[in-house]
A = this chain, B = another copy of it.
Amino acid sequence: MTAARRDTYTPETLLSVAVRVFNERGYDGTSMEHLSKAAGISKSSIYHHVTGKEELLRRAVCRALDELFGILDEEPARAGRAVERLEYVVRRMVGVLIAELPYVTLLLRVRGNTGTERWALERRREFDHRVAELLSAAAAEGDVRGDVEVRLATRLVFGMINSIVEWYRPDGRGMGERDVADAVARLVFSGLTRA
């Protein structure tokens, strides 16, 4: 039994348990004891995989950040008019948020008390900045309104997109990633007013 149990605990499953506990109790409020109980393995078994909870946090936010930055390297995010690249990025951001919901939720809740948290905040700012540049380029090409300051617009658009982690639950009640991405793209680019 013990051997079987150990076998089922890959670093990957430990990570997904840790992310769930971090999101429930907050990273600061989570001890190795909590992780050990939630994973159903001893603390020393956890230390067999990682140096401690900060490494689990780093791996978790890395996963979310890699997915987000990955979007910017995808072909449709790199070629074409800026406004179209921006729309592609907005839709894909919604996709990543939903596909990696617990990981992105954790990333968005990071507050900056440890080195890993400060690094994650820095990377988030870098990502925001890359999207803001795309918005600037779209404004320069005349496709995006010029009467809302780019930094402010970026913050508001991120506010809308990031809020998805607060309410989206993959409960199969019909609203899929595509529906949410369509709604976000319509609101971000055309607003509520009837076309």
Chain B residues, CB < 8 A from A162: 159, 163
> Which residue of the partner chain, among B144, B175, B180, B192, contacts A193 with CB atoms under 8 Å?
B144
**A144 with B192, Cβ < 8 A, contacts A163-B160, A183-B149 known:** yes
Instruction: Tell me, in angstroms, the Cα distance from A187 to B135 when the chains sit together.
Output: 13
**A157 with B187, Cβ < 8 A, contacts A162-B163, A163-B162, A180-B152 known:** yes
> Which residue of the partner chain, among B143, B175, B191, contacts A190 with CB atoms under 8 Å?
B191
**A188 with B186, Cβ < 8 A, contacts A152-B180, A160-B159, A160-B163 known:** no
Q: How many residues of A contact B (CB 8 A)?
A: 43
Chain B residues, CB < 8 A from A193: 83, 143-145, 189-190
- A96 interfacial by beta-carbon distance below 8 Å: no
Nearest CB on B from A81, distance (A): 12
